[in-house]
Amino acid sequence: MPSNMWDIPKFDTLEEERIYRKQHLVAGCRLFGEFGFDEGIAGHISARDPIKTDHFWVNPYGVHFSDVTVESLVLVNTQGEVVEGIHNVNRAAFVIHSAIHQLRPEIVAAAHSHSMYGKAFSSLGVFLDPISQDSCAFYKDHAIYTEYNGVALNEEEGKQIAFALGENKACILQNHGLLTVGKTVDEALWWFISLERACKAQMLADSCGKPLRIPNDIAELTYTQVGSSQAGWFNFQPMYKWIAKKYPDMF
Ligand SMILES: [Zn+2]
């Protein structure tokens, strides 16, 4: 466990790390429920299993984010089969997350939902501008997947999305929603929440006038201050503590 609150925890065993990842994934689900990021059966958060590293844990199909528990998570293999858990996996969740976990071996987690501001912003087909300190976390570190071919049900679509994401921390899926990744579950979740808010801020500002951009050199500097994996992980910690205290039943 962490020696101080600034450290991403290290674990003595992979079993401990598995529990940590699952608990933080569930905390993310509860937060997505809290923030209204649900849209029926859409939306998924995945965490690579630290033991079977080509498998990932994901929230169960057809269960509201607010009802997800550690017990209800499912472990999915490379064929899209549930190998642990009593629930099914959303086909689109397998298609999208499987491709990302394969293409980005350093990535531990990915998050996607049809959250309101991300969905609305995605229809514009534009990048996020550096108009606030927070939006600089995504400066030159997000992509747009410009294709929309219906619900992502075939594996080729998943590969195209993963390819569009590239080395970035986030991808705006045009006419669809947001997708973020991280080297920790916490990081992927923070980027999702932060990106949703950045989309909202940009649309609010655009609707009122012409927002002033932070100059490129300052945006680049700010990115190094707020856009690292460590910063993403650390920013999530207050939310994790808050939601864990609010819903102790999720563990
Ligand atoms: Zn979707």
Q: State the DSSP string of 199-219.
A: HHHHHHHHHHS-PPPPPHHHH
Ion ligand 1: residues, Cβ under 5 Å: 42
Question: What does the pLDDT look like over 102-153, one tens digit per residue?
Answer: 999 999 999 999 999 999 999 999 999 999 999 999 999 999 999 888 887 7
Domain total for the chain?
A: 1
Model pTM score: 0.96
Tell me the backbone φ, ψ of residue 166, rounded to 5 degrees: 60, -135
Q: What is the mean pLDDT of residues 96-100?
A: 95
pLDDT band at 191 (very low <50, low <70, confident <90, very high): very high
Question: In the chain, what is the straight-line distance between the N-terminal and C-terminal CA atoms, in Å?
Answer: 18
C-alpha 1 to ligand 1 mean position (Å) = 34
In a domain, 2, yes or no: no
Q: What is the pLDDT of residue 149?
A: 80
Task: With beta carbons less than 8 A apart as the criterion, state whether 162 and 103 touch.
Answer: yes
C-alpha 174 to ligand 1 mean position (Å) = 11
Question: What does the pLDDT look like over 216-249, one tens digit per residue?
Answer: 999 999 999 999 999 999 999 999 999 999 999 8
Q: What is the pLDDT of residue 46?
A: 98
Q: What is the pLDDT of residue 207?
A: 97
C-alpha 152 to ligand 1 mean position (Å) = 7
In a domain, 141, yes or no: yes
Contacts of 10 (CB under 8 A, 6+ apart): none
Distance CA 149, CA 51 (A): 34
Task: With beta carbons less than 8 A apart as the criterion, state whether 109 and 185 touch.
Answer: yes
C-alpha 119 to ligand 1 mean position (Å) = 10
C-alpha 178 to ligand 1 mean position (Å) = 8
Q: What is the pLDDT of residue 7?
A: 86
Quote the domain boundaries for residue 104: 14-245
Task: With beta carbons less than 8 A apart as the criterion, state whether 178 and 170 touch.
Answer: yes
Distance CA 204, CA 210 (A): 10
CATH code for position 120: 3.40.225.10
Query: Residue 47: left if φ>0, alpha if ψ -120 to 50, beta else—which one?
Result: beta
Tell me the backbone φ, ψ of residue 12, rounded to 5 degrees: -75, -35
C-alpha 189 to ligand 1 mean position (Å) = 16
In a domain, 4, yes or no: no
Q: What is the pLDDT of residue 104?
A: 96
In a domain, 3, yes or no: no
In a domain, 145, yes or no: yes
Q: What is the mean pLDDT of residues 51-76?
A: 97
- Return the sign of the alpha-carbon dihedral for residues 20, 22, 23, 28: positive
C-alpha 29 to ligand 1 mean position (Å) = 15
In a domain, 68, yes or no: yes
C-alpha 176 to ligand 1 mean position (Å) = 6
- Percent pLDDT > 90 in the chain is 90
C-alpha 43 to ligand 1 mean position (Å) = 6
Question: What does the pLDDT look like over 194-215, one tens digit per residue?
Answer: 999 999 999 999 999 999 999 9
C-alpha 216 to ligand 1 mean position (Å) = 32
In a domain, 78, yes or no: yes
Q: What is the pLDDT of residue 3?
A: 53
In a domain, 1, yes or no: no
- Mean pLDDT across the chain, nearest whole number? 95
Q: What is the pLDDT of residue 4?
A: 64
Q: Is the pLDDT of residue 154 over 90?
A: no
